[in-house]
Amino acid sequence: MNHVSDIFLNSGKVRMRRRKYGNYLLEERLVILGTGWASYSVLKHVDKKLFDVFVISPRNHFLFTPLLCSTTVGTLEFRSIIEPVRNTGFRDEHHFQVAEAVKLNVDSHSIQCKSTLNGQLFDIIYDKLVIGVGAVSNTFGVPGVYEHAYFLKELADARKIRNQILKNFELAMQPGVSEAEKKRLLHFVIVGGGPTGVEFGAELYDFMKQDVTRLYPHERGEVRVTLIEARQILPSFDEKLRRFAEKKMRQRDQFKLLQHSVTKVNKDSIILEDGSEIPCGLVVWSTGLAPRSFTASLDLPKNKAQQLLVDDHLRVKNIPDNTIFAIGDCSSIETAPHPCTAQVAERQGLYLANSLGLYSQGKGSDVKPFSWKNMGMLAYLGDYQGLAELPAGKLQGFKSWILWRSVYLTKLGNWRARFQVPFDWARTFVFGRDVSQF
């Protein structure tokens, strides 16, 4: 059988239809939007003998987000925590497109997509659609956040933060820099006291303690980190563990916790709700989730947080033929909402991959509602201290740090990463972090 391409130009758009081998029409086309925890879990576990799988995503890798903060200061290298999507095995190299969905037509079973490489528009037809596009950081409408703050959701974000930190240190070394400007450059502000904000602060503290002292000994006393949270840090953790984390942070030199709201972010400072201005050289914004523009644009049932409402089988509500599913941070089960965590998203992806196989084989009656068992939460506090809230009990301190590293090492998705991550940890411990800018 000859391979016949069915990609063609139509009114300036590329329209991708179902592919054929000779006169044989392939199995149902499954289109997956996104390569995050939920979508990637579907891609890895779905039976590709039953579906012609297409993936649309603006990034061509899966990112192991629990270790993302470690890359911002060089504890881990960027490539150590990613997995190339194409390694999952596609029937055709065209079945993965670096693009983002911009419009959904439910009636025609088609999605309009836009290449993030050249802006080309194309349509793709689906039989089954999985929406797993995730979410973005919530700015809460605070002026200046998009213009002057850094987010920490993607690998590109971590690279920008790392380069800015190193740039600030080098700027502070320049001749003629005033003491006030030096203090501003070396003041790093984190807005948001969730796991991302706390763990980024932990990595910064380790960098200050272990590497700044060695590389910038005369500037060690000028470096400051401020973590700002309007309510309480790590709100999803047990109160005892939260108090332990807060106590550890408050005991640290040059590390400050502030219970305030930020009302504006300027190029060189932030403004608090009491009107006070704090000069700083870097602002990292990590304050909850908001829907992506694609999710917000969909004329489908949503909750107040603009997440797509799904039933307990992860099917989007009000779709008569049950061909659209939504998983991960962009969705919420109407009858039993789950937290927006990587753990939940991964389990949803695995569940949906198995369910799709049963649906395809006419065994839909065998599909049970989605259920999830909380396996616990982990957080790193810096200085070899951690938190662990598990079904078997709660831990804090050094033992939790050991557990934090051990669990995430086993959760890495391939053997390359399982070798590379401990190698990076060992290299950092022996030789220190790499402070090269690139």
Residue 17 has pLDDT above 80, yes or no: no
Q: Do 122 and 63 share a structural domain?
A: yes
Q: Where are the beta strands (DSSP E) in 277-372?
A: 277-279, 282-285, 289-291, 308-310, 324-326, 331-333
Number of CB atoms found within 10 A of residue 119's CB: 8
Task: Confirm whether 15 is domain-assigned.
Answer: no
Averaged pLDDT of the chain:
93
pLDDT digits (tens, 9 = 90+) for 236-255: 999 999 999 999 999 999 99
- Tell which of 270, 287, 304 closes a domain: 287
Task: Confirm whether 435 is domain-assigned.
Answer: no
How far separated are the first and last CA of the chain, in Å rounded?
48
How far is residue 346's CA from residue 331's CA, in Å, rounded to a whole number? 13
Average pLDDT over residues 71-90: 96
How far is residue 418's CA from residue 339's CA, in Å, rounded to a whole number? 27
Percentage of the residues of the chain whose pLDDT score is greater than 70: 94
pLDDT at 437: 82
Q: Do 58 and 121 share a structural domain?
A: yes
pLDDT at 187: 98
Average pLDDT over residues 128-148: 97
How far is residue 285's CA from residue 154's CA, in Å, rounded to a whole number? 13
Report the CATH number that the domain containing residue 210 is assigned in CATH: 3.50.50.100
Q: Do 181 and 73 share a structural domain?
A: no
Task: Confirm whether 205 is domain-assigned.
Answer: yes
| Contact by Cβ (8 Å): 127, 109 | yes
pLDDT digits (tens, 9 = 90+) for 250-297: 999 999 999 999 999 999 999 999 999 999 999 999 999 999 999 999
Give the largest Cα separation in the chain, rounded. Answer: 75
| Contact by Cβ (8 Å): 154, 59 | yes
Residue 63, SS3 per DSSP: strand
| Contact by Cβ (8 Å): 59, 80 | no
pLDDT at 26: 54
Average pLDDT over residues 314-321: 94
Q: Do 167 and 283 share a structural domain?
A: yes
Residue 183 has pLDDT above 90, yes or no: yes
pLDDT at 169: 97
Average pLDDT over residues 21-42: 83
Residue 434 has pLDDT above 80, yes or no: yes
Rounded to 5 degrees, φ, ψ at 80 are -70, -20
How far is residue 157's CA from residue 229's CA, in Å, rounded to a whole number? 21
Q: Do 104 and 160 share a structural domain?
A: no
pLDDT tier, 413 (very low <50, low <70, confident <90, very high otherwise): confident
How far is residue 14's CA from residue 6's CA, in Å, rounded to a whole number? 10
How far is residue 64's CA from residue 79's CA, in Å, rounded to a whole number? 10
- The total of structural domains in the chain comes to 3
How far is residue 209's CA from residue 221's CA, in Å, rounded to a whole number? 11
Q: Do 320 and 209 share a structural domain?
A: no
Average pLDDT over residues 349-377: 94
Average pLDDT over residues 75-98: 95
pLDDT tier, 320 (very low <50, low <70, confident <90, very high otherwise): confident
pLDDT at 438: 77
pLDDT at 12: 42
- Which residue range forms the structural domain that includes residue 283? 139-287
Q: Do 35 and 163 share a structural domain?
A: no
pLDDT at 175: 95
Rounded to 5 degrees, φ, ψ at 193 are -105, 25
pLDDT at 4: 30
pTM of the model: 0.93
- Closest by alpha carbon to 14, among 98, 113, 100, 90? 113
Q: Do 275 and 301 share a structural domain?
A: no
| Contact by Cβ (8 Å): 20, 26 | yes
Q: Do 128 and 80 share a structural domain?
A: yes
- Closest by alpha carbon to 370, among 341, 395, 350? 350
Q: Do 269 and 159 share a structural domain?
A: yes
Its sign, for the CA torsion 60, 21, 353, 305, is positive
pLDDT digits (tens, 9 = 90+) for 104-132: 999 999 999 999 999 999 999 999 999 99
How far is residue 260's CA from residue 270's CA, in Å, rounded to a whole number? 12
pLDDT at 16: 52
pLDDT digits (tens, 9 = 90+) for 187-228: 999 999 999 999 999 999 999 999 999 999 999 999 999 999
